Amino acid sequence: MNRSRPAPIVLLGAALGLLALLLPWVSFRENRLVQGEGLNLLTTGQALAWLLPSLWVALGAAALWLQRGRGWVGTVLFVLICAAASMLLGGAALALVNAEQPLARVSPAGGFWLTVAALYVTGFGVSRWAQGPARWAGWLGAAAFALMPLVGWWRELGLAQEYANIASAFWPQLGMHLALSLTALLLALILGLPLGLAAARNERLSGGVLGVAGFLQTIPSVALFGLLLPVFAALGRDTTLGAYLTWAGGALLLGGLLQRFFGHRLLGLLGGLLGLLGVQALLLLIGLTVIGVLERTWSGAPGLGAAAWSLGAPLSTWGIRGIGAAPALLALTIYALLPIVTNTFVGLRSVPPGLIDAARGLGMTPGQILRRAEWPIALPFVMEGVRAALVLTFGITTIAPLIGAGGLGFFIQRGVEGNVPDLVLLGALPIVLIALLLSGVVAWLGERLTPPGLRAEPEVVGQGGPI
């Protein structure tokens, strides 16, 4: 008799979901500043509070005993659980906030957050059931969960009320957060891919490149911001655009000459360092220009005026000053370098030597070997590096408001200073959600760009599988 084995991951998720119901579901406060009181789901006064535990029990039973239609049933139950959790969170606020307590605040508590963790585990387990729509269970569950706040069911939650208070500032700060993170990633790609290629090609250079990138990664972000403040303040005050461009161009030219005539000697390495500094100086101006254009697009900021393009204009007109986007952009670019450089290096070094010899035997030039033989194999590694750098920069940008650069960390900082947990969540949750979304997009893009013959086949667990 072909019996279905239990699905341990789904069972774990269901157990976590039931355990979460023993913890406070929401925190109730008479106003936004006082200490909250934890309330269990069953004590929030909702008629449908029994629905969530019933669905968790049904999903656990399906994971234990169901054989036929496990994918369909599991997906339907998972989507219903996601919708029920979201509905019961908003319903708790609707039940507790009334005309007698118009200033009351209802916030998610430990039971709800453990339920979110249980949903993540369960969604992963259900998506591994290779039946019907199970592979899309995660996306379907996320859509069901998001439906409730989109239709206004969360309107009495503290999160929604805090958003209503700062709605005019939320989207500009979100835009600045995205602009800083994505621009830093772009600059790190422009700088990191050639560095990774050079390290893979030159054994003597690899230790220095990887060592410096690793050392820069160890500098605490707040300390790095502090070190850059006086440097950028002096640049913005005492340096003109013409002098800055002359220095950057001179560093590029001198570095190129030293590289060309001294090759692998010490002067050649010095030339590479000078060229790197010149490129970074020019990339900083390009990045600030991109951020200025984006900021003008979403918030109507004046951007760069005609005077900023004069060679005699101080760099402060470009935003290069002690506080603002410039030091944050440079620091974020530095932090994004290590995963990109390292993964490019590892990807190129993982190419079998026999493949390169075969390409040479076919008469390919070095450029053709790189494009047609090495790059397709290295690409999955590079995309993983890009994904890691993206998540890293998106997280570190949270502290950019400490130096006046803006971003969603502005709301986290204000919430901590005012002891307003809902405002902290309003800044933190979009960071987590967008980072996960962008990480998934980059992972999908990396899979699409990888040639079909080199793609890793996903492990699919069938009807009688263990997951």
Please write down the HEC assignment for all residues of 157-209.
CHHHHHHHHHHHHHHHHHHHHHHHHHHHHHHHHHHHHHHHHHHHHCHHHHHHH
User: Is residue 151 classed exposed, middle or buried when 0-12, 13-18 and 19+ CB atoms within 10 A define those classes?
Assistant: exposed
Are 136 and 174 found together in one domain? no
Read off the amino acid at residue 304.
L
- What pLDDT score was predicted for residue 301? 66
Q: Does a structural domain hold residue 388?
A: yes
- Tell me what percent of the residues of the chain surpass a pLDDT of 90: 39
- What pLDDT score was predicted for residue 251? 84
Of 328, 194, 402, 96, nearest in space to 412 by CA: 402
Residue 112 pLDDT level (bands cut at 50, 70, 90): very high
Are 400 and 446 found together in one domain? yes
Q: Does a structural domain hold residue 333?
A: yes
Are 176 and 146 found together in one domain? no
Are 114 and 81 found together in one domain? yes
Q: Does a structural domain hold residue 375?
A: yes
Q: Does a structural domain hold residue 162?
A: no
Instruction: Mark which of 130, 156, 182 sits at the end of a domain.
Output: 156
Are 245 and 356 found together in one domain? yes
Residue 388 pLDDT level (bands cut at 50, 70, 90): very high
pLDDT greater than 60 at residue 139 = yes
Are 149 and 182 found together in one domain? no
State the Cα angle at 32 between 89 and 415, rounded to 5°.
95
Are 34 and 175 found together in one domain? no
Are 199 and 286 found together in one domain? yes
Residue 466 pLDDT level (bands cut at 50, 70, 90): very low
| Residue recorded with tokens 């990045």 | 287
CB count, 10 Å around CB of 457? 5
Are 142 and 185 found together in one domain? no
Q: How far apart are CA 351 and CA 365, in angstroms?
A: 17
Task: Say which CATH number the domain at 184 has.
Answer: 1.10.3720.10
Q: Does a structural domain hold residue 466?
A: no
Q: What is the pLDDT of residues 176-198, one digit of tens each?
A: 999 999 999 999 999 999 889 98
- What pLDDT score was predicted for residue 99? 66
Q: Does a structural domain hold residue 465?
A: no
Q: How far apart are the first and last CA of the chain?
A: 20
213 or 455, which is more confident?
A: 213
Instruction: Mark which of 96, 131, 156 sits at the end of a domain.
Output: 156
pLDDT greater than 90 at residue 135 = no
Read off the amino acid at residue 295.
E
What pTM, to 2 d.p., does this model score?
A: 0.85
Q: How far apart are CA 249 and CA 311, in angstroms?
A: 14
State the Cα angle at 341 between 337 and 345, rounded to 5°.
175
pLDDT greater than 70 at residue 61 = yes
CB count, 10 Å around CB of 164? 10
- What pLDDT score was predicted for residue 299? 67
Q: What is the mean pLDDT of residues 172-179?
A: 91
β strands within 256-375, DSSP E = none
- What pLDDT score was predicted for residue 410? 94
State the Cα angle at 411 between 112 and 385, rounded to 5°.
80
Indicate the number of domains in the chain.
2
What range does the domain containing 70 cover?
6-156
pLDDT greater than 90 at residue 257 = no
Are 107 and 254 found together in one domain? no
Q: What is the mean pLDDT of residues 323-344?
A: 92
Q: Does a structural domain hold residue 462?
A: no
CB count, 10 Å around CB of 44? 21
Are 449 and 331 found together in one domain? yes
Are 57 and 141 found together in one domain? yes
Residue 253 pLDDT level (bands cut at 50, 70, 90): confident
pLDDT greater than 80 at residue 456 = no
Q: Which residues of 330-346 are buried (b: 16+ CB within 10 A; e: fewer)?
A: bbbbbbbbbbbbbbbbb
Residue 464 pLDDT level (bands cut at 50, 70, 90): very low
Q: Does a structural domain hold residue 84?
A: yes
Q: How far apart are CA 121 and CA 145, in angstroms?
A: 15
Q: What is the mean pLDDT of residues 243-248?
A: 90
130 or 72, which is more confident?
A: 72
Instruction: Mark which of 107, 125, 156 sits at the end of a domain.
Output: 156
Identify which of 1-10, 44-53, 124-133, 453-462 has the greatest average pLDDT.
44-53
